[in-house]
Chain A
Amino acid sequence: MKIVLDHLTKKFISRHNKNEIVTAVNDFDFEIPDGKLVGLLGPSGCGKSTTLNLICGLETPTSGRIFFGDLDVTELPPESRGVGMVFQNYALYPHLSVRQNILFPLENLKGDQKLSKEVMEQKALEAARLVQIDSLMERKPNELSGGQQQRVAIARALVKTPGVLLLDEPLSNLDARLRLQTREQIRRIQKETNITTIFVTHDQEEAMSISDLIVVMSAGVLQQMGKPQDVYNEPVNLFVAKFLGTPAINVFEGCIKDRGLYIGEDLIGHRDIEDQEVYVGIRPEAFDPDQNGPFRCRFDRVETTGRDTSIVCHNDHCISDEDVRAIVSADEPIAHKDGIIRFSLKQNKVHVFSKKDEKVIR
């Protein structure tokens, strides 16, 4: 089922200051295509969870509409929307077994929707198989590992075959190794069921690795939406550029003079735009050590972490961090003279942003 958010806005009165209005979601206007896995990404407190709560109906928007397919669900209570939701702490009922937890939503059905006992058991078992916990049906939640609890929560959300599956920070309570496994599981389950799925996360790597689409938001405002790689390669503004990628993008103050892109004295590229002050974002993987390269930095040290080799150096115009970080191939010799290292830059990894509104200039 596709989801359409039509100029969706949620404002509420600040809890700390009665006279202050907080805009948690500001004029969201986009469409999530059917059957996609969508990562809703942003720093904490940016309104991701509010967006999720609006979609599932736990909160009502201040203005704007929400459509599931062609159906306007804005006024519908959560139970009528046909959504499944997995909460950050899973919210598994601790006094019920895995089976009872999964059966719980089915037992709520009334009237013509009411199912026979056998059908319910059958559906619960199917959901449990899907998330591979069918061997643990009689356990209580506290007898399960974090990853297993997570999957029970997903099974419970899926058992009613919802049109939309919502996951709130699904991986944040898991340790690093389980996180990798579980995110693959989520990917697989989503592909098998083909249910439109939205998950909220503040971890950009998590979002990038499994989503069909990512939606980047900040302070209640939608920044950019697209395929993960597209958003990474072509950020529309400085925020998106900085938010995606580890190590983070290096940002410099620069300027355009006579179609030339300068950082300090160094002419590092060309842009067909007017003369102006700009921010220049250079991805760490854009750097190639090159004795004749145009971009000069003061060499500090080489760091090797696992397969990556990064060169840490300094540049007076760098504003993102005191260090400039460049990821290079380990085989290349790293030459520097009098403490100065020179780089040539892959131009598609160099982004220029207007100093006025921080939007990208192409």
Chain B
Amino acid sequence: MKKKNDLKGWLYLLPALLFIGVFMIYPLIDVLIYSVEEGYNFASQQYYGIGTYNYSYVLHDPYFLQALKNTFILVIITVPLSTGIALVISLALNSVSKLKDLFQTIYFLPYVTNTLAVGLVFMILFKKTAYSEGLINLLLNGFGIASIDFIEGPYWAKMFVLCFYTIWVVLPFKILILTSALASVNKDYYNVARVDGTSKWRTFYKITLPMISPSLFYLIITGFIGAFKAYSDVVALFGTDLNAAGMNTIVGYVYDMLYGNSGGYPSFASAAALILFLIVLTITMINLMVSKKNVHYR
């Protein structure tokens, strides 16, 4: 009887185990193996040695270093900025009663839209063509600033568009999480603070912020992870040939190594992916350590 039950449990789990085994656990082991197989040839599926050459190659590849730099700049700019903007907007949202639902719904809209498709719209808005300066440039001209080609122009301009679009894409999630965190703070805390004559700033700093700190840190952690994995929004703005545009990211580098014009090197791709994983892991650990000290958990 007991034995039969055991079997039944595993039977229900079988589909999940099959999918996860083939497409997650096996690849996980395999990626480690790939990353140390030197000179792996995709066509003949042969290699001539085991070692750290793949890592060293990737770490010396100028394209990878460029991707690393781009990714870090993107992370350092967008994570704090998007979290800060989301906090301001959520605070504003929470202080109104009328139209709150409407605004909240509008703000969430980018979450469900296709990153590639809307990225194309952003590209058009920022792009300078032979026919037109593009809407954003005309706006800048209005302020007396000369036109800039944001899509194929200088590095900082491209980085600006990328950051802007990334923030636009990640804000819906952050606003949603922070708005519900703010709404769940008991109104009595604010009332008692008011009776005690607490200033608005102090109420925010000493009461609101600690109360929502778990959500805030959750967002920072997931924000870091997400930003390090940036890829499709970059493709949306600058096309698939990111190395040529000088706008590649680590994930983009992994895929380029795997497939495409410069593809066919799963070993290099694996090494790069593992480097990315280590970076993300380290940052997450640091985040968790910081949050342990500063986050108040109920």
Decide whether A and B assemble into one complex.
yes
* Docked CA distance A56–B191 (Å): 10
Considering only residues 185-222 of chain B, those with a C-beta below 8 Å from chain A are 186, 188-189, 191-192, 194-199, 202, 206-207, 210-211, 213
Q: Which of A57, A87, A94, A105 contacts B296 (CB 8 A)?
A: A94
Contacts of A93 in B (CB 8 A): 189, 206-207, 210
B298 on interface, CB distance cutoff 8 Å: yes
Contacts of A109 in B (CB 8 A): 197
Contacts of B211 in A (CB 8 A): 94-95
Residue pair A105, B298 in contact (C-beta under 8 Å) = no
Min distance, Cβ B45 to any Cβ of chain A, angstroms: 58
Residue pair A83, B195 in contact (C-beta under 8 Å) = yes
Contacts of B189 in A (CB 8 A): 91, 93
| Nearest-neighbor residue (CB-CB) of A105 within chain B | B196
* Docked CA distance A77–B198 (Å): 12
Digitize A272-287: 1 where CB-to-B-CB distance is under 8 Å, 0 elsewhere. 0000000000000000
Residue pair B198, A108 in contact (C-beta under 8 Å) = yes
Contacts of B192 in A (CB 8 A): 85, 87, 91, 156
Main secondary structure of the interface of B (DSSP, over half): helix
Contacts of B199 in A (CB 8 A): 108, 110
Contacts of A108 in B (CB 8 A): 196-199, 202
* Docked CA distance A84–B191 (Å): 11
A58 on interface, CB distance cutoff 8 Å: yes
* Docked CA distance A91–B185 (Å): 11
A143 on interface, CB distance cutoff 8 Å: no
Residue pair B188, A87 in contact (C-beta under 8 Å) = yes
Given A89-B188, A95-B211, A104-B206; A79-B194 close (CB under 8 Å):
yes
* Docked CA distance A110–B197 (Å): 10
Given A91-B186, A94-B298; A79-B202 close (CB under 8 Å):
no
Residue pair B194, A142 in contact (C-beta under 8 Å) = no
Which has the most chain A C-beta neighbours within 10 Å: B188, B196, B202, B296? B196
Min distance, Cβ B215 to any Cβ of chain A, angstroms: 14
Given A93-B189, A94-B298; A79-B195 close (CB under 8 Å):
yes
Considering only residues 43-58 of chain A, those with a C-beta below 8 Å from chain B are 56-58
* Docked CA distance A84–B186 (Å): 19
Contacts of A88 in B (CB 8 A): 188
Residue pair A58, B195 in contact (C-beta under 8 Å) = yes
Contacts of A87 in B (CB 8 A): 188, 191-192
A351 on interface, CB distance cutoff 8 Å: no
* Docked CA distance A104–B296 (Å): 17
* Docked CA distance A57–B197 (Å): 11
A260 on interface, CB distance cutoff 8 Å: no
A151 on interface, CB distance cutoff 8 Å: no
* Docked CA distance A164–B196 (Å): 13
Digitize B95-106: 1 where CB-to-A-CB distance is under 8 Å, 0 elsewhere. 000000000000
| Nearest-neighbor residue (CB-CB) of B298 within chain A | A94
Residues of B within 8 A of A (CB): 186, 188-189, 191-192, 194-199, 202, 206-207, 210-211, 213, 296, 298
With A58-B195, A95-B213 known, 13 other A-B pairs at CB within 8 A are: A58-B194, A79-B195, A85-B191, A85-B192, A87-B191, A87-B192, A93-B210, A95-B211, A95-B296, A105-B196, A107-B202, A108-B198, A160-B196
A-B interface, 3 closest residue pairs, ranked by CB to CB distance from nearest: A79-B197, A95-B296, A91-B188
